[in-house]
Structure 1
């Protein structure tokens, strides 16, 4: 277990916000957590779990002990006639893991290609893209409770998955409830990839790819390549322009609310959901309010995709978390005043 003091966090958050951690521990084995919890010098120190930092807005230096999750490892746990059970360490890069499963001949995660972050963060956010959510492929996870050191396993039902939501994003209510926000560190995640494989194609961008190529029955590798190309065309590379990916959740409304918006804005992008609600494209709402390409301080709205906020600062004038949140609140106000819809941020703000 490696402990470092006064660590710059700019390399560890995809937005590239300049901040520091008083102390940072690199967790590379599950046993490291047990060692940490047994150390008297940190017994009363608050802790903050950091994965890939891709869904994070840091608004100041972090005084809590930062647990940087770097647990590696990938393996096939089991193969049956019905599917493959695959496991990865929480510190594995998510996109690299998706590419690896395909290279082994185990399809099922291709729609989730190029989502930034680590495997351990994927169930926290219940990541999703192009018609597939993590919960659709999730099997179980292992974690350690940070107060007691107790190791435990959760299945999908126990994770309480919702749209970009899970039990790991909720505080525990008193002595009851199952909220695990700030109380657990995920060490390993397992995924169930079913046989026979079936492509998920019900998105406009994928329909366009099929029309462009004439390929209406893409295999998993082709679908992976298409989604990587689509995402690269729309979204900035965090290594080039700091960002946290999609900044706002796509809101859901009733059919009546959607009809009211369509009556005023017929071009609004919307998708019917299985439960009868309607999902609206948050990026379209933001763009309709005129925010695409606009800047507040050193935080801006990406000119190719209004759903993404970006870092416009430099070494001399770095973007701050405060500037990002000022811009985010201004966007929320605009969308609410025009459409009566409150946008909810996706990233964790600390």
Structure 2
């Protein structure tokens, strides 16, 4: 079976983990955590970053930082992972879901403004497949209505909007280093802070509500409980693994883009024009970080048949998100939203195997089988 994903290991991960262990400090904020922070702040231009144990944790920190309270409304896409919504549900927010675009599973930026009320506090956008939302449009709406913007950039490492890194636009942003992402640490995430008023408090929330970080920098003579918080910082062992990946970022990305391009060159002009299959759309303002390659079938029946056919031929392809607005948890809060394109992608999208060690022979086999299915 050709797997959907296979975590790639550069070879330096265990070396750096041993180095972290030998340093005598394997809890949070050790030498490799600092190396990772420096990388992101210098290489990608983020104002301040904090590694977290997951992207979910980073989103939960963001919800606390913007002071979400019961009754606040938060606008976000329905076609996303449940963590995007859960982080704000936990603080008592009401979620207002936005439909997907006609040409892309990402959120329809033109559908945001009509959902804004006097209770709206934030827009949480998701850069689906690492492809940028229209950030000028979103930021203009947020500025006009005095709203916070949080980027769920879980899939968006090394992706850009008009030459500026995703994750550097919103007041806050969250990244994932789960084993299914381009750059991994098994589990892991990162909070990006682009608004200086949140910098000090973010450190406190991440350290169980204490000013422990300031204490270790010698800024206070003792540390105590000064705010709400939790244990959001990862072990330095996780950071050591991540730093080895970051050193190979360019190599990993080049390989993934090569695989993505092979798929696209084989299918574009064939599946889309002859068989009504929707292929990935990269707007002119966005770059492609090759997080995933997907096909959107004509209907649910076609997708089911394609997935079954590929599995029978030793290829594991998968579908993606189920519409959050139709989830059993949310139904009690649903007010009859019709999100046509969200449901369409939920029913029809297929993700193809894409990982660093996918061989050209295996990819040619996958491509051949898909073309044969449609012939």
Query: Is TM (by shorter chain) over 0.5?
Result: no
Flag the structure with higher strand content. Answer: 1
- Using structure 1 for the length normalisation, give the TM-score: 0.29
Greater RCO between the two (CA within 8 Å, min separation 6)?
2
- Using structure 2 for the length normalisation, give the TM-score: 0.27
